[in-house]
Amino acid sequence: MTDATFSSRAITKRPIDWWRWSGRVFLVFLLLFTVLPMVWMVLTSIKTQFAAMQYPPQWWPAEPTLQNYARLLDPSNSVGQEFLRYFWNSFYVALTTTVIGVVVAVPAAYAFSRFRFPGRTFLFFSVLLRNMFPAVVFLMPLFLLMRWLGLVNTHGSLILTYLTFGLPLSIWLLKGFYDNIPIQLEQAARIDGATRFQAFILIVMPLSSPGIIATSIFSFIGAWNEYVYAYTFLSKQESMTLPVGIQRFFTEFATDWPGLMAATFLMSVPVVVLFLVLQKYFVRALTEGAVKN
Amino acid sequence: MAEVVLKEVVKHYGAHIAVNHVSLTVGDGEFVALVGPSGCGKTTTLNLVAGLIPMSGGEIHIADRLVNDLDPKDRDIAMVFQNYALYPNKSVYKNLAFPLQMRKLAKPDIDAKVKEAARVLDITHLLERRPRELSGGQQQRVALGRALVRDPAVFLMDEPLSNLDAKLRVQMRSELKRFHQDLHTTVIYVTHDQLEAVTMADKMAVMSGGFLQQYDAPDMVFAKPVNTFVAGFIGSPAMSLVPVQVVRKGDAVWLRSVDGWEFELSAENGHKALSATSDKVVLGARHSTLRIHKSAEPGTVPGRVYIVEPTGDVTFAQVKLGASIIIVSLDPHFPIAPDEPVFVEFNQNKLHLFDGETQMALAAA
Ligand SMILES: Nc1ncnc2c1ncn2[C@@H]1O[C@H](COP(=O)(O)OP(=O)(O)OP(=O)(O)O)[C@@H](O)[C@H]1O
Ligand SMILES: [Mg+2]
């Protein structure tokens, strides 16, 4: 009798465990797949030039050094100057894209969510039209457009392009947020003495801040990482952004693997920091969606 | 003096007319209940008074001011929403303080008023909580508090009790009524629970399909419904309505059903019946005015018991008169069983007659 219950329990349990374990194995594999290259990147970046080229490779650097980082971050030598300029360019482009993106997407999404105006559906779907095509399809047309506008080799060309690509997603995401904020909250605020604008600023904006933060992260990362357009639109060395600039490093100092890895590591720092600081809101934005009453 | 006057108020949504030429006057300090079935335009009417949505036509006056073009904030009103609409990211204290802050009161005054409102509503211990940490009843009190702190000229309430459980609803109903007695502020109160309307309101506005059907004191609406809609809507259970035909037999006037039964009307009711535009009328009778007999008596009509519903205090019996069903209330001890043949007697002084074509109540000429 006891035997029977035992075995039957074991039988009913086994499939669940099996699934759970295969899931865990899969996740561990995925984790290794994403983390190992980064670990290798960090390890290489603290090796000396010589150690990086050795075969068989040194798994752990024999004499770890921060010299590569020091060189990149030191504005007194030419490498440092160059790197810091790329870094600043990237930061400037990404931040401007993000700020303008939010300033445009917030009112646009709010209008799509709250107002019924002629052409609303048409406009909304035409906003999404861009996303139906791969980004590279627009490379030449946009380049011609930028040349015509005289924006080639300016950061403005990149900011405009990134906005074109980032805004639809931002607007779509934020509209979902506003849709989920009951209109009665604004009505209550207006009765309580707020103007329409005050109701938006004081009541709706704070409630949608997770969404605003999430969209900001999206557009910042998108602009920070973008390569193809930056490579096409910018040819002057002093205006290049990090992804393009680092690639130049790569060709100029052809074998400087540690230097390249250090630069790449530094490039990923802002994104990681941004994520860690704001991840609470980010997760909330993607899971909760909004406020439930 | 905060009188609210609606003149020929219209609201279109595209081709759909949500509020159709509604005119009514809510006297200063009056408690008016807006009742009607779902989708009849109650919330829309209230939102028009509040100024939350633009009007398509007509005029609204609050306290002798034409408010058509005034923002909600300038109308000196407060509103309690059906879903309470508490600001989820603010504490209860800040929820209550918000209307006062927006009106630029000094901090100490705000504090005093918030504390006073919280005391009155017995929510002092909840002031630091967020709305989501409150029960439905507590949220309801906070919503009420946010309306009370400002002491506005007019209170607008959109089904404020509909999200509460039955017991709490009854309790809050009496509390609301007491508040109104104490404050004597004008109140427009939307509800689809007519018991709420009858127990609390000085006057009742019955709406249907965007039209105002009847606007009167609850007992008058109950006693003299102007048409079959109001008759069938007000009262629980509602009035039984049976379409019949008027036939003259010499001097006497009879009502005859297509199912074969007939009975003679009193002289007064006969007059009413003859004033109808055709020979079709609708006979209405409330459950309490009908009597059941076990055997045929003069003036009774035969029927068959369909369902017996004991409720404790009274027993309701649904009786089939041919194809129509009428509801009769009985003493709980009255012996009655489903499918039993019975005879129904109409009280001539309390039956209602409506024009079969226009559906309007027939009055003695
Ligand atoms: N924004 C809108 N756009 C289009 N039609 C609307 C809108 N708001 C309300 N309506 C329509 O107007 C009519 C009246 O709506 P309203 O909300 O006033 O009903 P109600 O009497 O409050 O009903 P309930 O008891 O269900 O709350 C309904 O038929 C509704 O479909
Ligand atoms: Mg409603």
- Give me the amino acid identity at A82: E
Residue B241 shares a structural domain with residue B225? no
Whether A252 has its CB under 8 Å from any CB of chain B: the answer is no
Of B232, B256, B284, the domain-final residue: B232
Question: What whole-number distance in Å separates Cα of residue B116 and Cα of residue A80?
Answer: 65
Look at residue B95 and tell me if it is in a domain: yes
What CATH number is given to the structural domain containing B38?
3.40.50.300
Of the candidates B355, B350, B327, the residue with the CA atom closest to the CA atom of residue B240:
B327
DSSP B125: G
Lookup: tokens for A226: 């973008």
Contacts of A61 (CB under 8 A, 6+ apart): A43, A46, A47, A48, A51
Smallest Cα distance from A276 to chain B, Å: 23
Look at residue A148 and tell me if it is in a domain: yes
Domain that holds residue B53: 4-232
pLDDT less than 50: residues of chain B: none
Phi, psi of B32 (to 5 degrees): -110, 130
Q: What percent of chain A has pLDDT over 90?
A: 29
Residue B177 shares a structural domain with residue B297? no
Query: What band does A80 get if pLDDT is binned at 50, 70 and 90?
Result: confident
Beta carbons of A190 and B88 less than 8 Å apart: no
Say yes or no to pLDDT of A130 above 60.
yes
| Cβ count near B66 (within 10 Å) | 12
Look at residue A40 and tell me if it is in a domain: no
Look at residue B133 and tell me if it is in a domain: yes
Which stretch of DSSP H or E encloses residue A230?
helix A228-233
Question: What whole-number distance in Å separates Cα of residue B60 and Cα of residue B69?
Answer: 10
The pLDDT value given to residue B245? 94
Residue B224 shares a structural domain with residue B242? no
Average pLDDT, stretch A64-88?
85
Q: Which residue of A has its CA nearest to B78?
A: A191
Mutate which of A192, A198, A201, A207 to disrupt the B interface (most B C-beta within 10 Å)?
A192
Cβ atoms A45, A258 nearer than 8 A = yes
Of B182, B211, B232, the domain-final residue: B232
What CATH number is given to the structural domain containing A204?
1.10.3720.10
Residue B97 shares a structural domain with residue B228? yes
Measured CA distances, B56 to A80, A166, B329 (Å): 68, 40, 46
Of B169, B201, B232, the domain-final residue: B232
The pLDDT value given to residue B206? 95
Whether A185 has its CB under 8 Å from any CB of chain B: the answer is yes
The pLDDT value given to residue A15? 61
Residue B70 shares a structural domain with residue B170? yes
Look at residue B222 and tell me if it is in a domain: yes
Residue B225 shares a structural domain with residue B261? no
Look at residue B194 and tell me if it is in a domain: yes
Residue B119 shares a structural domain with residue B246? no
The pLDDT value given to residue A217? 87
- Give me the amino acid identity at B178: R
**Domains: count for chain B:** 2
The pLDDT value given to residue B301? 92
Smallest Cα distance from B87 to chain A, Å: 7
Look at residue A199 and tell me if it is in a domain: yes
**Domains: count for chain A:** 1
Residue B189 shares a structural domain with residue B151? yes
Question: What whole-number distance in Å separates Cα of residue B188 and Cα of residue B206?
Answer: 13
Look at residue B330 and tell me if it is in a domain: yes
CA-nearest residue for atom 29, ligand 1, is B39
What CATH number is given to the structural domain containing B283?
2.40.50.140
Residue B13 shares a structural domain with residue B49? yes
Domain that holds residue A91: 71-287
Residue B152 shares a structural domain with residue B75? yes
Q: Choose the residue to mutate in B43, B53, B189 for probing ligand 1, maximizing ligand atoms within 8 Å of C-beta.
A: B43
Residue B208 shares a structural domain with residue B225? yes
Cβ atoms B200, B180 nearer than 8 A = yes
Angle (nearest 5°) at CA A181 between A176 and A184 = 145
The pLDDT value given to residue A119? 86
Any ligand 1 atom below 6 A from CB of B42: yes
The pLDDT value given to residue B22? 95
Look at residue A48 and tell me if it is in a domain: no
Look at residue B157 and tell me if it is in a domain: yes
pLDDT digits (tens, 9 = 90+) for A212-245: 988 898 899 999 999 889 888 888 888 889 888 8
The pLDDT value given to residue A251? 65
Cβ atoms B82, B162 nearer than 8 A = yes
Average pLDDT, stretch A93-118?
93
Residue of higher predicted confidence among B104 and A65 = B104
Question: What whole-number distance in Å separates Cα of residue B257 and Cα of residue B343?
Answer: 15
Look at residue B102 and tell me if it is in a domain: yes
Look at residue A7 and tell me if it is in a domain: no
Residue B36 zone, left/alpha/beta (φ > 0; ψ -120 to 50; rest):
left
Residue B52 shares a structural domain with residue B168? yes
**Candidate from B78, B82, B102 with C-beta closest to A194:** B102
The pLDDT value given to residue B365? 58
Question: What whole-number distance in Å separates Cα of residue A226 and Cα of residue A98?
Answer: 14
Look at residue B362 and tell me if it is in a domain: no
* Closest ligand 1 atom to Cα of B207: 21
**Candidate from A194, A206, A207 with C-beta closest to B73:** A194
Smallest Cα distance from A177 to chain B, Å: 15
